[in-house]
Structure 1
Amino acid sequence: MLNFDVAIVGSGLAGLSTAIKLADDKKIAIISKRTLSESSSQWAQGGIAASVSSVDSTEAHVNDTIVAGAGLCDESVTKFVTANSASALNWLTKMGVNFTKQANTSELHLTKEGGHSHRRIAHVADTTGSAIQSALIEKVNNHPNITIFEDHIAVDLITNKKLKIIKTEKNICLGLYVLENTSGKVVTIQADVTVLATGGASKVYLYTTNPDVSTGDGISMAWRSGCRVANMEFVQFHPTCLYHPHEKSFLISEVLRGEGGILKLPNNKPFMHLYDIRGDLAPRDVVARAIDFEMKKRGIECVYLDISHKSKKFIMEHFPMIYERCLSLNIDISKDPIPVVPAAHYSCGGVMTDFNAQTDVDNLYAVGEAAYTGLHGANRLASNSLLECLVFSDAAVSHIVAKHKAHREILPRWDASRVTDADEEVLITHTWNELRRFMWNYVGIVRTNKRLSRAMHRIDMLRDEVNEFYTNFKISNNLIELRNLLQVAELIVKSAISRKESRGLHFSKDFPETSNKKYITILEPANFVGAIEKKHTIKKEKSTSIG
């Protein structure tokens, strides 16, 4: 058994920033499914929303967030996050992130994205995520108190309720089991505190902008351990994923539309003005539904995003990575429009947390896309996600340092004495493909009761098959991910079925109107009723501002 003060599952911005902020005082483990650089944060092109311009304000940022969130954002959380945006940027600057500046000045170059009323997106050209990850990875690699477990996947959390130890009504996280992918060994990690920074679950869909590691691991593990989840029906589909047979998930940043890009039909006619007064700069849910409608109405495979009316110099200065990637596929964006389609992009729901990033289980925190904080409501405003990671990582750190003491329970080893080698791994591949395809067809951008019912029926059947496989055979990375994806799919579908309206990212043809009643969708694990708080909101204690 390995012992740490804090075990952090995930190596994106949420995980790495939490580790760096804790490392001077705590012994840290970072568990990364592949390398540290493989995360959704690494792929982020746009930037970080921060109301730092003299013509902008926190109030405007709050209002834009709430409008984009279709009225379901927690206003107190939204104010808390946006008020700390300048401090978040300052911290990253101290870490060595060199944000793009205005020509010949030291002022930040701020760009604009859909749903924003002002230019407030701080960025590093069109590779912001990569620049941030590179800076933070260098820090964690050189810190003596941080141990990195690359190519390891978390299997499940260990709690006192599961082990039936520690006589208390509380449900307490004691650590986790982790599979070393190369050897197949399962390691027991004892930790005083565990932080889930595992990102979202968009790989549950056939088409996604996310990397292969986005399989909802943290959400599923938390749910199995007794945590409530909220708003899982709100899956954001990014409007503009490159449509090309050789590029399955390359994102075309929203900043491209913010800098003048125009969505067009194959006949070269713009169409977004027909759907929203904000045109191409409408929020993502509006744009994604408009594209989906036009594709189905006209029987076309994609639409086009055109920025060729801008100079080549402008394009290469602002979008060097997008330009080069498209050019490698024989698409010169200075001359030609870019073929794009919507793709699953971001999970607005997740594990319920408070202002300190605490979940329903003691000693268990969730930060980043895996968490439901209340910031995003029914639709995430562009570039608020990286900001949320930074603000809530700091909130978690403050609480961990102030509140937690060592428990040092002796935890049992993983028992693999009654399982055998899998006889047909192909079953995992087939089930994975089936799941992602019917989720895309039945639980996508536009939903119906009939489609959701069909999806739930298939999930029930596949769950039994996968549970039998998990019980009888040695676990693998693919099996763990499939098990987690099935759990997340069930949570998404159940949440979608329970919402009898259309709002934000959830559009139902059976309930096309938006209800006057505003509510969040909360699911509570049946096995833990009575073991966790039976109330609809976690008490939100004010957390220390970052800086």
Structure 2
Amino acid sequence: MTRVAVVGSGIAGLTAALEARSAGADVVVLTKAAPDESNTRYAQGGIAAVLSADDSVEAHAEDTLRASSGLADADAVRTLVDGGSVAIAGLEVRGVGFDRGADGARLLGREAVHSASRILHAGGDATGAEIQRGLLAECRARGIEMREGAFVTDVVVSRGRVAGVRMIERGATAEAQADAVVLATGGIGQAYAVTTNPQVATGDGIAIGLRAGAAVRDMEFVQFHPTVLAVGAPFLVSEAVRGEGAVLLDEAGRRFALDAHPDGELAPRDVVARAIARAMARQGGRPVLLDATGLGAAFLTRRFPTIDRAVRDRGLDWARVPIPVSPAAHYVMGGVATDLDGRTSVPGLFAAGETARTGVHGANRLASNSLLEGAVFGARAGRTSARESVREGVDAGSTSLAPELRDRLVARKTAPGDVPSLSRRALQDVMWSCAGLSRDAEGLADAAAIIARWRAVTPAPRTVREHEDRNLLDAAAEIVRAASARTASIGAHWRSDDVPTYDHPEPVLEAAC
């Protein structure tokens, strides 16, 4: 029987585990924290799928490519949108309950760049938490082994293919054999000073893939969510709030988002986030305002109970007064490059969810496509890992290897005395300043030199925290390298030293279908 180790317990990892088990594999899920602590749990906005007669997979594909600035892979997009209705049915069969109206029909919302209402929610704005609950319950019911507090540090590669994982479990190092490993650890949000991601999002799967020699692509494309509550700890205010009619205002009460794009608040996320950053710069760095007062207290409480509670816990009444918001690092479109079945360039190694670069997001992710990607491609990776673990890996494009990262020296030298001492906060500040919403050659060179210096002097990690910091350094180095190599602005990658003539060019859409 094939032994499959799934690293991570969000929607992609749990779906992969369930599908691998259904395909006859012996499955173990390894998670460094509690099984319900993942990016999935905190997803508010919803999951996109074509479920109504007023919509079509062709329209969903076109919207996805438009948001991607034309860089999404057409085959991957088609696989994603074609699999939407089946993925939703699968989640419901596994116990996930989506919001329905009085007539029993699923309630469908609309978000930026979507041309139709196709966003499913659960608990108003607790979609991810409901999906996490349902999938975890199903995994337990199916008897899938769940090892909590098992921090995977690396995959074991023997004779050119994956043979298992190394990990720290209960404070001790250990190895676990596996015929196939699925990396599904989520994103890299903790590489930035302000992020919507939980503490566990330290780029583990991407860094593990890099060190194993897997191809990693598109890491320059880091999406910043436009609206994060700017009072207290960062808290995401879902794009669905703008989808319901909330607007963005500067301190003078002006709807500035319309200056950047005719769709205003519902323009692609990169456009809205940069518009907010420019408005904040004009007003001395102070946050802008999200005005949801026109929606009414009853509607806000019913439709967005989680956000409503968080806003009111901070002493704000958003039904009466606009609330302060600003951008934050949210999602990385790049990752470990895979084919449509989750195979990486290393035989036996698979990736899914935000850890993977499937090609569906291009330069900018369409709202509510991330949970769908986790469900659709997590299932494909799970099935394939169970039945094809002895096959060769795929050619997934250009490869960035750990030795190359370790040995790369940038032309712009930074004297050791100019480099701050390594800490997670120092790394986050460097990435926020030099590889954040706006980048340029000088800032990226500074970041590359600082990160190279840190990598050269940092001893081998021993504790979980030290391993996480190494993973963040590995991921940050790849973000900076990729951002330096792409000298033109496109999508979420914005070079202030190469500003195009207009903010968000319309891509050619024929390839979407």
TM-score (norm 1): 0.84
Q: Residue by residue, what CA displacement relative to the aligned partner does 1:89-128 show, whole Å, maximum 9, x if unpaired? A: 10011011111112x1121111111111111101111000
Aligned to 2:176: 189
Aligned to 2:164: 175
The one of 272, 288, 299 aligned to 1:287: 272
Aligned to 1:478: 465
Aligned to 1:156: 154
The one of 423, 431, 435 aligned to 1:431: 423
Alignment check: 8 A CA contact 2:18 2:382 kept: no
Aligned to 1:358: 343
Alignment check: 8 A CA contact 1:242 1:252 kept: yes
Q: Distance in 1 between matches of 2:195 and 2:132?
A: 21
Aligned to 2:318: 333
Aligned to 2:192: 205
Amino acid at match of 1:101: R
Aligned to 2:436: 444
Q: Residue by residue, what CA displacement relative to the aligned partner does 1:333-366 show, whole Å, maximum 9, x if unpaired? A: 1112121110000000001100111000001100
Aligned to 2:414: none
Instruction: Note the C-alpha offset of 1:405.
Output: 5.6
Percent identity reads: 39
Aligned to 1:233: 220
* Aligned: 1:26 with 2:13: no
Amino acid at match of 2:66: V
Instruction: Note the C-alpha offset of 1:310.
Output: 1.4
* Aligned: 1:101 with 2:103: no
Structure 2: tracts of 5 or more residues without a match: 392-419, 508-513
Aligned to 1:71: 70
Amino acid at match of 1:381: L
The one of 108, 111, 131 aligned to 1:110: 108
Q: Residue by residue, what CA displacement relative to the aligned partner does 1:213-252 show, whole Å, maximum 9, x if unpaired? A: 11111111111111111110000000011101x32x3110
* Aligned: 1:273 with 2:272: no
The one of 3, 10, 13 aligned to 1:12: 10
Alignment check: 8 A CA contact 1:110 1:121 kept: yes
1:496-511 counterparts in 2 under 5 A? 496-511=483-498
Q: Residue by residue, what CA displacement relative to the aligned partner does 1:76-97 show, whole Å, maximum 9, x if unpaired? A: 1101110110111100110111
Amino acid at match of 2:467: I
1:29-40 counterparts in 2 under 5 A? 29-40=28-39
The one of 357, 364, 387 aligned to 1:372: 357
**Where do 4+ consecutive residues of structure 1 move more than 6 Å?**
none
Farther off after superposition, 266-275 or 436-445: 266-275
The one of 327, 331, 354 aligned to 1:346: 331
Task: Classify 1:174/1:75 alpha carbon distance in 2 versus 1 (closer, same or farther; 3 Å).
Answer: same
Aligned to 2:374: 389
The one of 479, 485, 496 aligned to 1:492: 479
Q: Distance in 1 between matches of 2:321 and 2:500?
A: 38
* Aligned: 1:62 with 2:54: no
Alignment check: 8 A CA contact 1:204 1:215 kept: yes
Instruction: Note the C-alpha offset of 1:142.
Output: 3.0
Alignment check: 8 A CA contact 1:9 1:198 kept: yes
Alignment check: 8 A CA contact 1:501 1:514 kept: no
Instruction: Note the C-alpha offset of 1:514.
Output: 7.9
Alignment check: 8 A CA contact 1:235 1:348 kept: yes
Alignment check: 8 A CA contact 1:158 1:174 kept: yes
Q: Distance in 1 between matches of 2:76 and 2:2?
A: 31
Instruction: Note the C-alpha offset of 1:23.
Output: 2.2
Q: Residue by residue, what CA displacement relative to the aligned partner does 1:119-142 show, whole Å, maximum 9, x if unpaired? A: 110111100000110111112223
Q: Distance in 2 between matches of 1:105 and 1:430?
A: 57
Count of matched residue pairs: 476
Q: Distance in 2 between matches of 1:371 and 1:235?
A: 13
Aligned to 1:420: none
Alignment check: 8 A CA contact 2:166 2:175 kept: yes
Alignment check: 8 A CA contact 1:503 1:514 kept: no
Alignment check: 8 A CA contact 1:447 1:508 kept: yes
Q: Residue by residue, what CA displacement relative to the aligned partner does 1:35-87 show, whole Å, maximum 9, x if unpaired? A: 01110000000111112121111111111111100010001110111011011
Alignment check: 8 A CA contact 2:2 2:389 kept: no
3-state SS, counterpart of residue 174 of structure 2: strand
Aligned to 1:533: none
The one of 434, 454, 457 aligned to 2:446: 454
Aligned to 1:88: 87
Q: Distance in 2 between matches of 1:40 and 1:286?
A: 23
Alignment check: 8 A CA contact 1:4 1:190 kept: no
Aligned to 1:545: none
Amino acid at match of 1:96: G
The one of 239, 248, 261 aligned to 2:246: 261
Q: Distance in 2 between matches of 1:84 and 1:77?
A: 11
Q: Distance in 2 between matches of 1:277 and 1:372?
A: 30
TM-score (norm 2): 0.90
Q: Distance in 1 between matches of 2:139 and 2:85?
A: 23
Q: Distance in 1 between matches of 2:385 and 2:212?
A: 20
3-state SS, counterpart of residue 423 of structure 2: helix
3-state SS, counterpart of residue 309 of structure 1: helix
Structure 1: tracts of 5 or more residues without a match: 161-165, 407-427, 519-547
